[in-house]
Chain A
Amino acid sequence: MMKLKRNIAISENGFLFNPETGDSFLLNPIATEIVNFLREGNDVADVKQLLFDRYEVDVVTLEKNIEDFLEMLQHHELLDR
């Protein structure tokens, strides 16, 4: 299961700080929402469902975008392997 690293800090306005590497990132509102869902302990399937319920989006677009975003999180060492 993909999990956000425990010590990742994120502010309300989408500023994310990785205390392990010192990297910081600015997230847009949807990305902030996804990261917050992950922080709350939701798995990827839950996150997809939550976004699907909340936004007008087709499944294919949603899945592709989420996968891309997760890959980006992985690339920046924000996920536990």
Chain B
Amino acid sequence: MKKIKYHIAVTGLNNTDNPGPGIPVIRGLRESKDFDVRIIGLAYENLEPGIYMPDMVDKTYQIPYPSSGMDKLINRIEYIHSKERLDVIIPNFDAELYTFIQAKERLQNIGIHTFLPTMDQFEERQKANLSQYGEKYGVKVPFSKVITHRRDIEQLKDSFEYPLLVKGKFYDAYLAYSAEQVNSFFNRISAKWGMPVIIQEFIRGTEVNVIALGDGLGNTIGAVPMRKQYITDKGKAWGGITIQNEKMLELTRNLIRKTKWQGGMELELIKTNKNEYFLIEINPRIPAWVYLAVAAGQNLPEALVKLAMGMKLQPFSSYEVGKMFIRYSYDLIGDIAQFGSLSVSGEM
């Protein structure tokens, strides 16, 4: 029987040393047993490596940065939709999610499906709200405080012990051992990501992560825990392994049940040597290591598309433990004509 073909637009094609989830999401989709795909890459920059990777993206369109406003972005998507008849969009950047969540109905009205958290779900798990989040859902979280001005730094010693973490609202985290270091990281982060800057208690332990998919009704469709084995200087996993950890899975299922989380997510946890788990962050999207979950038996990108298309799914019941991923860098050869085409017409 011929498989149905979905036209799926994917962002996050930046397979750099700070990798976006686009390419691993596409790999999962291309391995679907139930549907075929035409993949439309949505790129912000001309040199996102995913654009040039063979057999990944069928066509790429440039899109404007979310900071240029929702209307501009949606107009561009409408244009792309008129050419490509999109069924689903999978946004993969934290910074663009707000806009896509806001635009959900507008997209739905023209026939484009998404499967994203609600605005409330998205907002309440913001790093700046982590303390309240932990209290509300009964999860251990590190003590944290939001600061918006350099003069707040001196007072930090009243409520924190050094070292502490200085975090940007979307990305970046630095360990600071003194007020002077906080000052320097504060400047760096606020210049890059804006306000507020988050100060967080430093919990000693091992960082472990869970990728999960919630159906929006409180059910966990899939979840795979992973331990990073190799971390880059940007704190990104360059290698990791699936682990068998019922405590982490229970924590994930509980959180999804209580929040009725809709869409992909990544829980970043610290396991202390007392076997306690602290939630340090929730990324409200599929993480870049999603292909490990696919390889371990849970094709979460495929499941996300099915959910977006309104299908009912049975949760995955297992995954393979001890599956590893290792990233690598590789020189793709492109041609100036490709680059030119993208630069001039915004399409390739």
Q: Which residues of A contact B (CB under 8 A)?
A: 7, 9, 17, 19-22
Contact = CB atoms under 8 A, between A and B. Distances in A.
Contact of A19 (B208, B229, B322): B322
22 contacts: A7-B244, A9-B322, A17-B322, A19-B243, A19-B244, A19-B321, A19-B322, A20-B243, A20-B244, A20-B245, A21-B206, A21-B227, A21-B243, A21-B245, A21-B271, A22-B208, A22-B226, A22-B227, A22-B229, A22-B240, A22-B241, A22-B243
Nearest to B321: A19
Nearest to B228: A22
A78 to B, nearest CB: 14
The B contact surface, by secondary structure, is: strand
A20 B241 CA distance: 11
B144 to A, nearest CB: 26
Interface of B: 206, 208, 226-227, 229, 240-241, 243-245, 271, 321-322
A9 B321 CA distance: 11
Given A9-B322, A21-B227, 17 more contacts: A7-B244, A17-B322, A19-B243, A19-B244, A19-B321, A20-B243, A20-B244, A21-B206, A21-B243, A21-B245, A21-B271, A22-B208, A22-B226, A22-B227, A22-B240, A22-B241, A22-B243
A22 B321 CA distance: 9
A4 B159 CA distance: 42
Nearest to B225: A22
Contacts, number: 22
Most chain A CB neighbours (cut-off 10 Å) among B240, B271, B321: B321
Contacts of A17: 322
Contacts of A9: 322
Contacts of B271: 21
- Which A-B residue pairs are the 8 nearest by beta carbons? A22-B227, A19-B244, A22-B243, A19-B321, A22-B241, A20-B245, A20-B244, A19-B243
Nearest to A18: B243
Contacts of A19: 243-244, 321-322
Nearest to B244: A19
Contacts of B321: 19
Nearest to B246: A20
Contacts of B244: 7, 19-20
Contacts of A7: 244
B176 to A, nearest CB: 28
Contacts of A20: 243-245
Nearest to B229: A22
A21 B229 CA distance: 11
B231 to A, nearest CB: 13
B316 to A, nearest CB: 18
A22 B322 CA distance: 8
A7 B243 CA distance: 11
A19 B243 CA distance: 5
B322 to A, nearest CB: 6
A21 B225 CA distance: 10
Q: Which of A7, A9, A17, A19 has the most CB of B within 10 A?
A: A19
- Name the residue among A7, A17, A22 with the largest chain B CB count within 10 angstroms: A22
B273 to A, nearest CB: 9
Nearest to A75: B273
A51 to B, nearest CB: 29
Contacts of A22: 208, 226-227, 229, 240-241, 243
Contacts of B240: 22
Contacts of B245: 20-21
Contacts of B243: 19-22
